[in-house]
Structure 1
Amino acid sequence: MDTAIAQNGTVTVTGIVQDQASQQPVEFATVMVADKETGEAITGATTTAEGTFSITVNSSDIYVEVSFIGYKPQTFRDITFADGIADLGTIKLIEDSQALDEVVVRAEKSRTEFKLDKRVFNVGQDLTSAGASALEVLNNVPSVNVSIEGVISLRGSAGVQILVDGKPSVLADQQSNALGTITADMIESIEVITNPSAKYDAEGTSGILNIILKKEEKRGLNGSVSLNTGVPDNHSIGVSLNRRTEKFNLFTQLGVGYRSIPEFSETINRDLTNNTTVTSDGTEYRNETFYNIILGTDYHINPYNVITLSGNFAYEVESQPSQYDFSLLNDNNNSVVAEWNRRETTEATNPKWQYELQYAKEFKNNEDHKLLLSATGRFFGKDQASEFINTAVSGENFNNDQQTETEYQQADYTFKLDYTNPLTEKITLETGAQYVINDVGNDFTVREFQDGNLVTIDELTNNFEWNQKVLGVYSTGAYEDEKWGVKLGLRVENTDLSTLLTNTNESNNQNFTNLFPTFHTSYKLTENISVQGGYSRRIYRPRLWDLNPFFNIRNNFNIRVGNPDLLPEFTDSYEITSIFNMEKASINTSVYHRYTTDVVERVSTFENNVNTTMPMNIGTNRTTGFELNGEHSPTRWLKLNGDFNLNYFIREGEFQEQSFDFTGDQWSSRLTSKIALPANFDLELIGNYQSGFQTVQSEVSGFAFADVGLRKKMLDGKAVVNLSVRDVFASRIRESVIDQPEFYLYSFEQRGRFITLGFSYGFGKGEAMTYSGSRRR
């Protein structure tokens, strides 16, 4: 080796790093220079936007390693210097398929990867997610929509199972608002599984959304810190730390924040029999202080055996001040009979924690030959007290002052076994089992001031207990070569469900066993064109919030209750997808069909201007849909992503001798543009539209909304400043009308615009977090 040293005793190493497949520069690739004898790192740098690097060191006895997440690293040991300079030329990095399978892609751009039985949305650097929670991140994922109430739907259907790292989690309980404690900086990717294989829990009639959390594997001490502030109040601090040694990988994430979420709502209840109308309008504020910590360790017993122990603790302090103005109108003469306001003061504390012990074994004959055992425990609690004060403005006060108390406790336990054996390079068998125990209690008390005395209202007070045990056993077999792949699976699940109203001793017990077959296939027509097909059978089991008959009296004229006799939904889902990959663009189209029985719909009953909604099993639903996803990079500074979903449905059903047969359609679209600006600025614009649609009773209005994000990178990408504006025009709403022969109902909700400014900094080998802690319902 010719090692000529420059006169000042230093040498320089230069080069250009490119992606081998696209020939595009790889920005922020890591270039490490290490001592050739000791292997200790001397210095390092990251590549520029053009993929170039230049490093000066004091020794020529070195080697160079070039790496980037999602690619195989390249090492250069025989380096030749001429006049103190070594030019490594163009270094082509190859994607690491194993890393992609494990979903540890942190590419600069967000993109969707298609696998045999799922799509992986790599969260990447989505600018509008700055200062966001998991719900806002989900709302940017193709095929997914999140209403302002926090209801998650996939391809227009709300029967979605939310998992965290492939397992049920207390953090993924939509009804507990717990998804808000998962902050966007914690998320690596989202898996969209519209037709899950038998390996997955059969829960969720429209499919599964699996949130993959980040877990750093780089050696040494690495981490990042983030600070955020916003309007309305959205303030948070987040810290991520990781320490990787030969045997241990220690990781922790901490977050603390405060957020205020205002929501304006308006209702009209019109009794067409008595010709009276009750109206209400006002604003509710959900003020939340939250704390969150994740702590865990991986212990590498040897290269083939790893034990992981991890825990999560989150604590929320909520207050919900609100005031609504009510009016009672006589429609016969358009006169105001009475006016009053109802003021609510609610205080709540929500502790939740989770712990998991996992053992993973790889076999020496094949790294994909694996055994995984895990045990998870979860708890969520709510201790809430509310006071409702009614003040007459004119006429008679139609409500007494009330107080409510809620003591809610949920304990869940999951035991899981998964075994994967690649018999050959093309044939793989999987088998396993899962046992889930859900134990929930909700003690709800309503008291009312009557003649100056506080009296318990027995018909609104009870303790509801819900216990469910689900045992699942599955097996799959897959064959996959360079062009064709097929995967068959069968899952058997037994459900043992019991509910009990302890005060009235009303019980409901169900025990049933079901088969859930799955089928997936793919075929590669050319290097750039492939097709996929899939089938799965799914179930939606009613939750406590669906079953509990005592639920909500916030507005005494619009009451939501549960139905303890509710039955599960079953869905047969079919799908065909085509994938077209071009040099600067990709297009993916899907045609799907879902057939659902015992469909759960919320049905309104009306009496004396009081609207009571209860979930009911009403008939069947046949949905046929078309979905289009596309990406295009016409220039190096512009990237476009589009998503369009249209479905047509046929509803058949009957309730209280009334036919609910009808047909309808709904569609949604999303267009995202990411623009690279000078001086390391990036701009992201997102436009969304969701059409109106019909339910068994109501007409829901459509709406459009837009999000904007701006990012500035500094200090070679170690520091990032984000500015995000969600719902720029405050046009994201929930509006519905129910027009029946006996009554008319109108409902409107709006949250408004959210602006967040964030700063994050990565140290060690950590990356700056381009999202941050927030709390979202």
Structure 2
Amino acid sequence: MRQLFFFIIFFLGLVIHIQAQEISIKGVVVEKGSNLAVPYATVVIVDSQSNQPITGTTTNEDGAFNIETDSKAVYLKISFIGFKTLTFNSIDFNSSNIDLGTLYMEQDAQALDEVVVRAEVSSTQFKLDRKIFNVGQDIANTGASALEVLNNVPSVNVNIEGQVSLRGNSGVQILIDGKPSVLADESSNALGTITSDMIERIEVITNPSAKYDAEGTAGILNIILKKEEKKGLNGSISLNTGIPDNHSIGVSLNRRTEKFNLFTQFGGGYRSLPRENTSENTNFETESTVTSEGTEYRNETFFNITLGTDYHINDLNVLTLSGNFAYEIEDQPSRTDFSSYQGSVLESQWYREEATDATNPKWQYELNYKKEFKNNEEHTLLFSALGSFFGKDQESEFTNTTTYGDIVNVDQQTETTFQQADYTFKLDYTNPISETFTIETGVQYLINDVGNDYEVRELESGEWIVNPNLTNNFEYNQKVLGFYGTGSYEADKWGVKMGLRIEDTNLHTLLTNTDEENNQKYTDFFPTVHSSYKFNDDFSIQAGYSKRIFRPRLWDLNPFFNIKNNYNIRVGNPNLQPEYTNSYELTGILKLGKATLNSSVFYLYTTDVVERVSVFQDNVTVTTPINVGTNGAVGFEFNGKYAPLNWLSFNGDFNFNYFEREGDFEDQSFDFTGNKWSGRITSKIGLPADFDLEITGQYESDYQTVQGESEGFAFADIGLRKKILKGKVVVNFAVKDVFESRIYQSTILNENNYNYNRNFRGRFFTLGFSYGFGRGEAMTYSGRR
């Protein structure tokens, strides 16, 4: 009987306990005013006596939640960034299923303003050996590709051809997440597939430490992509259009759980890139001149998709596998009109039409493994393997039609099969052995394997005959093995970092039709030293030294290029040697109230400088890269940002270079001194009704080249953005080169000839619409090159 009594007591207690656990509270959280769901808001059950949280959950995509409790001595708190916290102290626990219905959250204006200031404005910060540009949502970056974002980074410039320069120097190495990438390959023009919403920050490293490749005499730009941390399903979709044709659609999706982060981005579109060209070639000996004027088109239909996943094996180990595939279909209908003069007398006129079709497949795959050690999250081991491919199958036909005179020009066809495969294997180890001392070491092996099969056919008596003088298959294979080690000391005020990198290069090129080959094998040492001193929170200085190398690329070495304009031809030089640069720099950083200023003084000394030298013969200008002497450049750079009001800010930078050239080529002296400078200022204005206006003005001075001069120009861009539904929807409109003044002009003047070239793309209009769902932000996707 006693056992039965205890059993009944136990059973009743168990029932009471089970019943207590079954109290559930549910509701739907929406934004007051708009009635939009508030997803991923935090819902917490708090003990009434201790005020300590007992359990919690988050709202789903529809703003709904369901939470259980086994106690009635509790209250409910609901919070979300940018909103006022909701607190429910009096909950009716008479039922085990409590429905609070629709709960309205009101925006916290003060908190929201703070968030907007941080999220909207791009900012720059400084580390021991680099500047970090955190990409915000400036209008300049809205609707922008990575190239356009780079053009808003202090010290960086992107010209009309998409060539990136740093402090006026074009020998820049571009990395994606610290590694080479097909997306950053200049030959593939693929930086347009990286959009501003994908970029977290850009690291500007003018004097890279030994940890990085020694490639890139001007320095390194490291584009760090965002790693999505928002749990649940998030994403955004965008539509863009423009004049000239620039139409695209892009989708970004992310699904994150405790173990996996799955991400994808895909898009497609059509773009047209017209460019007007004018040139003049004059032979002083024969008093003959050939002029040309025309418009080149590059119409592209493009598709791309990125798939990837981060697998968190545990808190200390992460495995990442990702892949990217892109495909472009090109059409280049172009026409150039030519005129030939003897003195001032017109002798003949004709036009040359081009019909080009090409397909460009490209893909990339990457495997990363990162291990963190328990003693310090910065104590890491990182292994990465990267493979990429870029191909081009292209056919062109050039037809000449005489409209005046009796000149005869031969019709031509070209066929190109280009394939480039790159592989990078890298192992990096970082160990902060104390709070102030850190060591880094690693190894990297890089393989570049390229083939360019180029054939030219000419029409003779109704038949297409191969021209052996312009036809060949060029093979390029380069292997670079590198080792590095660095040690750094960084205290509160003073820090120093020293390192050494050793790279062994093995380059082999072969012209298969003629058996001409070039083998280069060399080992180089690249020391680096960096130091910084912080006088106070508002003023600090940095100093650095590094040795860099510029290895000739395929386009510099391949003597068979193209014959778009057979009076202005560019060819490569298989015997081109690498150039080396010793770089010294001193930078000061100063904060004055609402202004942030930094200035640098630097000196670059380069040997075996690669210059494009033009040779004139029979009214044809042939330009080829040559190693020409040395160049010493002293420069000054100033960057500043000033925000006098919450709705108004200014960004500006100024760069000045004085250079001294020494060298000669074919008995011609290239000794001279000169200077070049550039300036840019951007104003950002916040207008009522969530409108933002941005205006940018830039000037680039003229400067002397080894054979002539490049003229300066000024241009302006303007953008307007409207936010809807608290930023979930963004509409932006921009005009690039408002006054059509971004015109590139250059002249070459020798004793026997004169050459003039002019080209520009003109004014661009863009209009974009984007929408973010889940906790995704409105994405901006650009199809621009």
Normalising by structure 1, we get a TM-score of 0.89
* 1:124-163 superposed matches below 5 A: 124-163=136-175
Question: What CA distance in whole angstroms lies between the structure 1 residues aligned with 2:688 and 2:581?
Answer: 50
Match of 1:342 in 2: 352
Per-residue CA shift, 1:536-560, capped at 9, x if unaligned? 1100000000000011210010000
Q: CA 1:563–1:120 in 2, change beyond 3 Å: closer, same or farther?
A: same
Selected match of 2:532 from 505, 522, 538 = 522
Selected match of 2:641 from 631, 645, 656 = 631
Q: CA 1:396–1:308 in 2, change beyond 3 Å: closer, same or farther?
A: same
Question: What CA distance in whole angstroms lies between the structure 2 residues aligned with 1:740 and 1:196?
Answer: 39
Question: What CA distance in whole angstroms lies between the structure 2 residues aligned with 1:42 and 1:60?
Answer: 19
Question: What CA distance in whole angstroms lies between the structure 2 residues aligned with 1:81 and 1:465?
Answer: 79
Q: CA 1:453–1:11 in 2, change beyond 3 Å: closer, same or farther?
A: closer
Question: What CA distance in whole angstroms lies between the structure 1 residues aligned with 2:282 and 2:177?
Answer: 47
Match of 1:61 in 2: 75
Per-residue CA shift, 1:160-203, capped at 9, x if unaligned? 11111111111111122222222333322221110111111110
Question: What CA distance in whole angstroms lies between the structure 1 residues aligned with 2:110 and 2:346?
Answer: 79
Structure 1 residue 41 corresponds to structure 2 residue 51: no
- Deviation of 1:136 after TM superposition, in Å, equals 1.8
Structure 1 residue 599 corresponds to structure 2 residue 609: yes
Per-residue CA shift, 1:517-539, capped at 9, x if unaligned? 11111111112111111111100
- Deviation of 1:604 after TM superposition, in Å, equals 0.3
Q: Which has the higher contact order (CA 8 A, sep 6+)?
A: 1
Question: 2:61 touches 2:774 (CA, 8 Å); kept in 1?
Answer: no
Structure 1 residue 32 corresponds to structure 2 residue 46: no
Structure 2: give runs of 5+ residues left out of the alignment: 1-25, 32-37, 46-53, 64-72, 92-102
Selected match of 1:197 from 209, 214, 220 = 209
Larger radius of gyration: 2
Question: What CA distance in whole angstroms lies between the structure 2 residues aligned with 1:768 and 1:365?
Answer: 39
Q: CA 1:64–1:645 in 2, change beyond 3 Å: closer, same or farther?
A: farther
- Deviation of 1:470 after TM superposition, in Å, equals 0.4
Q: Tell me, what secondary structure is at the counterpart of 1:136? A: helix
Match of 2:363 in 1: 353
Partner amino acid, structure 1, of 2:784: R
- Deviation of 1:423 after TM superposition, in Å, equals 0.4
- Deviation of 1:106 after TM superposition, in Å, equals 7.1
Q: Tell me, what secondary structure is at the counterpart of 1:107? A: helix
Q: CA RMSD in A?
A: 2.8
Question: 1:129 touches 1:724 (CA, 8 Å); kept in 2?
Answer: no
Q: Tell me, what secondary structure is at the counterpart of 1:410? A: strand
* 1:236-315 superposed matches below 5 A: 236-315=248-327
Question: What CA distance in whole angstroms lies between the structure 2 residues aligned with 1:683 and 1:354?
Answer: 38
Selected match of 1:430 from 440, 444, 457 = 440
Q: CA 1:65–1:371 in 2, change beyond 3 Å: closer, same or farther?
A: farther
Structure 1 residue 120 corresponds to structure 2 residue 132: yes
Question: 2:594 touches 2:644 (CA, 8 Å); kept in 1?
Answer: yes
Structure 1: give runs of 5+ residues left out of the alignment: 1-8, 15-28, 47-58, 69-73, 97-104
Question: 2:250 touches 2:266 (CA, 8 Å); kept in 1?
Answer: yes
Q: CA 1:77–1:570 in 2, change beyond 3 Å: closer, same or farther?
A: farther
Structure 1 residue 175 corresponds to structure 2 residue 192: no
Match of 2:10 in 1: none
Match of 1:51 in 2: none
Selected match of 2:467 from 457, 460, 464 = 457
Selected match of 1:390 from 371, 396, 400 = 400
Match of 1:619 in 2: 629
Selected match of 1:555 from 565, 571, 594 = 565
* 1:663-702 superposed matches below 5 A: 663-702=673-712
Question: What CA distance in whole angstroms lies between the structure 2 residues aligned with 1:616 and 1:514?
Answer: 21
Normalising by structure 2, we get a TM-score of 0.88
Partner amino acid, structure 1, of 2:573: N
Q: Tell me, what secondary structure is at the counterpart of 1:321? A: strand
**Paired residues, number:** 725
Question: What CA distance in whole angstroms lies between the structure 1 residues aligned with 2:39 and 2:493?
Answer: 34
Q: Tell me, what secondary structure is at the counterpart of 2:136? A: coil
Selected match of 1:586 from 596, 611, 618 = 596
Q: Tell me, what secondary structure is at the counterpart of 1:458? A: coil
Selected match of 1:479 from 473, 476, 489 = 489
Question: What CA distance in whole angstroms lies between the structure 2 residues aligned with 1:76 and 1:159?
Answer: 53
Q: CA 1:569–1:691 in 2, change beyond 3 Å: closer, same or farther?
A: same
Match of 2:231 in 1: 219
Q: CA 1:583–1:452 in 2, change beyond 3 Å: closer, same or farther?
A: same
Question: What CA distance in whole angstroms lies between the structure 2 residues aligned with 1:63 and 1:652?
Answer: 73
Question: 1:390 touches 1:397 (CA, 8 Å); kept in 2?
Answer: no
Per-residue CA shift, 1:360-382, capped at 9, x if unaligned? 00000111100000101000000
Q: CA 1:550–1:764 in 2, change beyond 3 Å: closer, same or farther?
A: same
Match of 1:775 in 2: 784
Question: 1:32 touches 1:44 (CA, 8 Å); kept in 2?
Answer: no
Per-residue CA shift, 1:439-486, capped at 9, x if unaligned? 000000000001222110001000000000001111111111111111
Question: 1:128 touches 1:725 (CA, 8 Å); kept in 2?
Answer: no
Question: 1:723 touches 1:755 (CA, 8 Å); kept in 2?
Answer: yes
- Deviation of 1:130 after TM superposition, in Å, equals 3.5
Q: CA 1:539–1:81 in 2, change beyond 3 Å: closer, same or farther?
A: farther
Q: Tell me, what secondary structure is at the counterpart of 1:400? A: coil
Match of 1:504 in 2: 514
Partner amino acid, structure 1, of 2:43: A
Question: 1:567 touches 1:598 (CA, 8 Å); kept in 2?
Answer: yes
Match of 1:653 in 2: 663
Q: CA 1:10–1:211 in 2, change beyond 3 Å: closer, same or farther?
A: closer
Q: CA 1:614–1:699 in 2, change beyond 3 Å: closer, same or farther?
A: same
Question: 1:689 touches 1:704 (CA, 8 Å); kept in 2?
Answer: yes
Selected match of 1:165 from 159, 163, 177 = 177
Partner amino acid, structure 2, of 1:676: G
